[in-house]
Amino acid sequence: GESVGLHLPTLSVQEGDNSIINCAYSNSASDYFIWYKQESGKGPQFIIDIRSNMDKRQGQRVTVLLNKTVKHLSLQIAATQPGDSAVYFCAESKGNSGYALNFGKGTSLLVTP
Amino acid sequence: DAGVIQSPRHEVTEMGQEVTLRCKPISGHDYLFWYRQTMMRGLELLIYFNNNVPIDDSGMPEDRFSAKMPNASFSTLKIQPSEPRDSAVYFCASRSIQYNEQFFGPGTRLTVL
């Protein structure tokens, strides 16, 4: 029979609201974290990154928060727009490896009008 | 720059056949990464190169998979013989040593019947 695929957590928000996407990482030695956005049929696209010596970084409409104590990362999107609908992945650097990335499973964000 | 270029965009083949995926990284980038994305396992790093030299191939599933980078502007990922479980989207990404961001190509969707 057909294999069961990975069920992505889904976050549904209304246009104009703020979105918060969460991610837990496992490697306490990771020193670099990135958020990627992937639209259907496309490759992942860089959104924002943060190093472990920071706990917050802001970009255009996006903010990443890093809590190293509980190994938690979040992405905040302000005034969410329909074009923000996509799958969002957090990724951590894989040790001293040229920043080869270890990706999380992803969260699907659906923005409704 | 045209970004990371991958070919073919879609490949359908029969079990046992050899498959070759191609990647042209962004000019001047020092690192090249091959990832595989499936619903079951998400986005996985297969192998990465630094200045055309393979650095970490621990993610390559088995001996049926091989990757080469004969020069700074071209890399191949070969599967021989292919199996239905190899069906996935294969992404190539590149980055410059000066920046942390990895730029992903559009991917090759491989279907092995």
Q: How many other C-beta atoms lie within 10 A of the C-beta of residue A19? A: 20
Task: Output the pLDDT for position A7.
Answer: 65
Residues 6+ apart with CB under 8 A from A44: A36, A37, A38, A89, B43, B91, B104
pLDDT single digits (tens) B8-63: 999 999 999 999 999 999 999 999 999 999 988 889 999 999 999 999 899 998 89
3-state secondary structure at position B22: strand
Nearest CB partner across the interface for B45, out of A5, A6, A101 = A101
Residues of A in Cβ contact (< 8 Å) with B106: 41-43
Q: What would the mean pLDDT of B89-106 be, rounded to a whole number?
A: 92
Task: Output the pLDDT for position A30.
Answer: 86
**Å from B30 to nearest chain A CA?**
10
- Give the number of residues written for chain B: 113
Contact A20, A90 (CB under 8 A): no
Task: Output the pLDDT for position A8.
Answer: 78
Taking the C-alpha atoms of residue A79 and residue A17, their distance in angstroms, rounded to an integer, is 5
Q: Which residues of chain A have pLDDT under 50?
A: 1-5
3-state secondary structure at position B25: coil
Contact A45 B40 (CB under 8 A): no
Contact B40 A102 (CB under 8 A): no
pLDDT-derived band at B101, boundaries 50, 70, 90: confident
Task: Output the pLDDT for position A104.
Answer: 87
Question: Chain A to chain B, count of Cβ pairs less than 8 Å apart?
Answer: 66
Q: Which two tokens mark A9?
A: 């957590």
**Å from B18 to nearest chain A CA?**
24
Q: Which two tokens mark B69?
A: 């980078």
Q: Nearest CA to A37 among A94, A77, A93, A96?
A: A77
Task: Output the pLDDT for position A2.
Answer: 37
Sheet arrangement for strand B19-24 = B5-7, B19-24, B74-79, B65-71
pLDDT-derived band at B78, boundaries 50, 70, 90: very high
pLDDT > 90: percent of chain B? 85
A1 in contact with chain B, both atoms CB, cutoff 8 A: no
**Å from B33 to nearest chain A CA?**
8
Cβ burial B33-59 (10 Å sphere, 16+ → b, else e): bbbbbbeeebbebbbbbbeeebebeeb
Task: Output the pLDDT for position A26.
Answer: 84
Nearest CB partner across the interface for A101, out of B50, B102, B107 = B102
pLDDT single digits (tens) A65-80: 999 999 999 999 999 9
Beta strands in chain A (DSSP E): 10-14, 19-24, 32-38, 45-51, 56-58, 62-67, 72-77, 86-93, 101-103, 107-112
Nearest CB partner across the interface for B42, out of A3, A100, A105 = A105
